[in-house]
Structures are given as C-alpha cells and as structure tokens.
Amino acid sequence: MSVFTFILRWINRNKKTLIYGYAIKTVLVFSVMGFTQNSAKNTAEISVKTSAVCGMCKERIEKGLAFEKGVKEASLDLKTKMVTVTYKVRKTDPDKIRKAISRLGYDADDVPADEKAYGKLPACCKKDAAPH
C-alpha cells in the first residue's frame, strides 16, 4: 500500500467518524429538546403548604401522593412544610392534589385537613405537636 492510499484511507475513516459523531450529536440534541418540550406541555409543578410535622408526615404525604392519579413526583421539605408536586395536567389539577393531601390528614394551603384522617394520625403528627 502506497503512502498516498494510506493517507486517503486515513482521511476517509476520520470523515466517517466525524459524520457519525455529528449525526449522534444531532439526534441527542433533538431528543433532549423533544423531551423538554413534552414535559413542559404535559406536566406542571405546584408547591402546597402543608401541616406536616415530622419525617413520618413527610413519608405519609409523599407516599400518599405517589398513589394519587396523575401525580408523577412529590417531595416535601420539612423545614418549610412545602410539598412540591409534579403532576400530569391532563390527569389531575392543584385542587385535586390539595384534596388528596387533606384526605391524608394534613392541611393543604387553604384546604383544612380531613377530620377523620387527621384523627387517625399518631399524636406526634398532629398540628400542635412540637417539632421533633
């Protein structure tokens, strides 16, 4: 093989690599864009003030919401008592989510805790319990 053909092959091989690299990057960029667009259209996020007191409350609310229709993710910050909920806009809405939190025994913004559910909470999880 002459030096010339060797160089030609080398250029060819690297061209392919360059083209593949470019194609892969393009596909990646488009799929990421599509994903972002999709989730922007179909999901929304709200923050709801709850009456959570302790880690058990956090778990109860996060798990309870996870079973709620249309809820993708729920995460409660005990310091602020705010639960951040990501939900599918076609399946549920903020009012339904607040009601679901109420049914778990907790206040949700201006929706008071469902009395029955609140009565079933352990004493440490009642609203007037000292933080622990």
- Residues binding Cu ion (CB under 5 A): 53-54, 56-57, 125
- From CA 60, how far away is CA 1, in angstroms rounded? 73
Name the minimum Å distance from CB 91 to Cu ion: 28
- From CA 54, how far away is CA 56, in angstroms rounded? 5
- From CA 92, how far away is CA 71, in angstroms rounded? 7
Name the minimum Å distance from CB 105 to Cu ion: 9
Complex with Cu ion: residue 74 or 92, whichever CB lies closer: 74
Complex with Cu ion: residue 76 or 97, whichever CB lies closer: 76
- From CA 31, how far away is CA 120, in angstroms rounded? 47
Name the minimum Å distance from CB 111 to Cu ion: 19
Complex with Cu ion: residue 81 or 98, whichever CB lies closer: 81
Partner residues linked to 71 by β-bridges:
87
